[in-house]
Every structure is written in structure tokens, then in C-alpha cells.
Amino acid sequence: MNQFKTLALLSMLSALLISISYYTLGGTGGVIIGILIAAATNLGSWFYSDKIALAAHKAQPVSRETAPELYTMVETLAKKADIPVPGVYILPTESANAFATGRDPEHAAVAVTQGIMKMLSTDELEGVIAHELSHIMNRDTLTQAVAATIAGAIAFLAQILQYSMWFGGMGNSNDDNGPNPIALMATLFLAPMAATVIQLGISRTREFSADAGAAELTGNPRALANALQRLEASAKQMPMTGNPAYEPLMIMHAVPKQMFSGLFSTHPATDKRVERLLALESDLVTA
């Protein structure tokens, strides 16, 4: 099911990218350019998404010797989840957050910030790690990386077209071989928005799934619920800076919640996530 969702997401965003290229860059040449961009971004996401995400946050690898408690926690939960032990990284920031990355369980990494390790209790941090391992199990890390990369390519293309329009580089709009002015305006304003809505919609859905997976792995849904509430409060006090393209990877939105709403939120509302986790706890008690 998750592989199907990955393919569906890839197809929608790639089709949007190719369509933009066709209507704005003109005919067959535009389609070819769109296909090349889509292929390049998809391949780049497949092979290098983990390295790019880790490098963007200056993540430092750790081992059993350098961070024994964290490494042992990841190792224990990975064995319980029946997946290879991912690479373990620490982000040098006091903001409290965590993310997973990688194209599959064999090429994955889990990264936590220094701030989250200081702030959360052992069982709360365990819930966060289990959440990230659930993303790896479900291959959500690949889905999110591909979505972010293609959405970024669409936004980049729209920006290039905007600059070209400003400086007269798009040619004569009355030329049959030139760009369609209506399609051009749609590209500039609607296409990046549509790509973002698709990307973030998938991200919100997968967060609920990863929360449920974490509850199953730890058998302690309340610990993750408590962690989410503390992380949201921390995000308001100490937002995590960095490239917003990586926001969907994080366990918690990196900036204050009030800046997001509805379709443009990277994560579901924390109270809804907590409500579902506590419902899972109730189910465990009555089972």
C-alpha cells in the first residue's frame, strides 16, 4: 500500500511538472524538458535524499561508544520492528525535534536534536524514535523526500519563468511556438500551490500512521502523546531554523503552529494526534 502511495504521489507531481513545462515552455520541447527535470529530481531523491537532508542540518553521526543510550534505544526498537539498525545522528541545535530519512530500511537514518534529548524523558524519547522508525518501515521517508524534491523543482521552474517574464526573456507571447500567457500565469501562482498541497496532504496522513506504528512498537501511546505536547510548546519558544522544504520530515512542525492552517500545515493538529494516541491506549487497556 505504501509503495502504491509513493507511486501515486510521484505520478501526480511529475505529471504536474511535465504539464507546466508543456504549457509554458512550449509544445514537445517543453514536455521533454519536464520529463528530464522529473527524472533527474526523482533519481536524485532516490539515491541522495538521506545525505542531503543530513548535510542540510549539519547532522553528526554517533555510535554506541559516543552516544550509548541513544544508540541502544534505536538499536532495540529497530530489532523489535525487524528492520536494520539505521544510522544514528545528532543535530547540533537546542531546538527540540527529530526526523528520519532514507530511501528504504536498508539505507536509512534517524536524527535527533541535542534539545530533544535534553527535554524529553526516556520513555518520551523512545516514543519519538519509534515514530521515526515507523516512517522508515512504511517507506514514508522516500515519499516525503520525493514530494519535497519535485515540489521544489516546480517552485524553481515557476521562479525562473517569473524572472524571464520580468526581463522579457519569454519571447513574444503571440508566437504560436511561444508560451501560453494564461498557462504562464497559472504556473507562477497556482502550480507551486498545488504541488505544496499534494506534498503536505501526504505528509499529514503519514504522521497519523507513524504515531500508530510507534504506539504498537513501544506499547506506550501516552509517552508519545506527552512528547508531542511538549514538542509543540517548545516549538513556540524555540523554533527550529533551516530549509522549510524539510519541514514534513520532522516529527513536529519546526515553527509555531499558528503560522500554519488547513491545507498548508505540514503536520496534523497536535491535539488530534494526541487524541488518537490516547484512544489507542484505551484500546490496549481493554484488549
Beta bridge partners of 88: 110
Q: Which pLDDT score is estimated for 176? A: 52
Rounded to an integer, the average pLDDT of 145-158 is 68
Instruction: Please report which residue ranges of 22-121 form alpha helices under DSSP H.
Output: 27-56, 68-81, 114-119
Beta bridge partners of 113: 91
Q: Which pLDDT score is estimated for 214? A: 96
Q: Which pLDDT score is estimated for 25? A: 58
DSSP 97: -
How many independent structural domains does the chain possess? 1
Determine the residue type at 137. Answer: M
Q: Which pLDDT score is estimated for 171? A: 47
- The residues near 249 (Cβ < 8 Å, ≥ 6 apart) are 53, 99, 100, 101, 141, 144, 145, 148
Q: Could you give the CA distance from residue 101 to residue 114 in angstroms, rounded to a whole number?
A: 18
DSSP sequence for 243-270:
-GGGGGGBSS-SS-GGG--GGG-SS--H
Q: What's the residue count for the chain?
A: 287
Half-sphere exposure of 122 (CA within 13 A, CB side): 5
Residue-wise pLDDT tens digits, 164-220: 666 655 444 445 555 556 666 666 677 667 666 666 666 777 888 899 999 999 999
Residue-wise pLDDT tens digits, 123-146: 999 999 999 999 999 888 777 766
The top-scoring range by mean pLDDT among 37-41, 175-179, 238-242, 283-287 is 238-242
Contact yes or no for 141/101 (Cβ under 8 A):
yes
Q: Which pLDDT score is estimated for 61? A: 97
Q: Which pLDDT score is estimated for 259? A: 46
Q: Which pLDDT score is estimated for 23? A: 59
Q: Which of 124, 126, 132, 281 is catalytic?
A: 132
Q: Which pLDDT score is estimated for 187? A: 61
The predicted model scores a pTM of 0.75
Q: Which pLDDT score is estimated for 111? A: 96
- The residues near 145 (Cβ < 8 Å, ≥ 6 apart) are 45, 49, 50, 53, 101, 103, 249
DSSP sequence for 117-131:
HHHS-HHHHHHHHHH
Residue 232 annotated to the active site? no
Q: Does position 82 have pLDDT exceeding 90, yes or no?
A: yes
Residue 170 grid coordinates: 519569454
Q: Does position 32 have pLDDT exceeding 70, yes or no?
A: no
Closest CA to 245 of 148, 153, 129, 176: 148
Contact yes or no for 229/270 (Cβ under 8 A):
yes
Q: Does position 157 have pLDDT exceeding 70, yes or no?
A: no
Instruction: Give the end-to-end CA distance of the chain in Å, rounded to a whole number.
Output: 27
What's the CA angle centered on 4, arms 3 and 9, to 5 degrees?
100
Q: Average pLDDT of the chain?
A: 79
Range of the domain at 57: 2-286
Q: Does position 1 have pLDDT exceeding 60, yes or no?
A: no
In percent, how much of the chain has pLDDT > 70? 58
Residue-wise pLDDT tens digits, 85-134: 999 999 999 999 999 998 889 989 999 999 999 999 999 999 999 999 99
Could you tell me how far CA 213 lies from the centroid of its own chain? 17
Rounded to an integer, the average pLDDT of 232-246 is 78
Q: Does position 38 have pLDDT exceeding 80, yes or no?
A: no
Q: Does position 52 have pLDDT exceeding 90, yes or no?
A: no
DSSP element (H, E) containing 211? helix 191-218
Q: Which pLDDT score is estimated for 102? A: 87
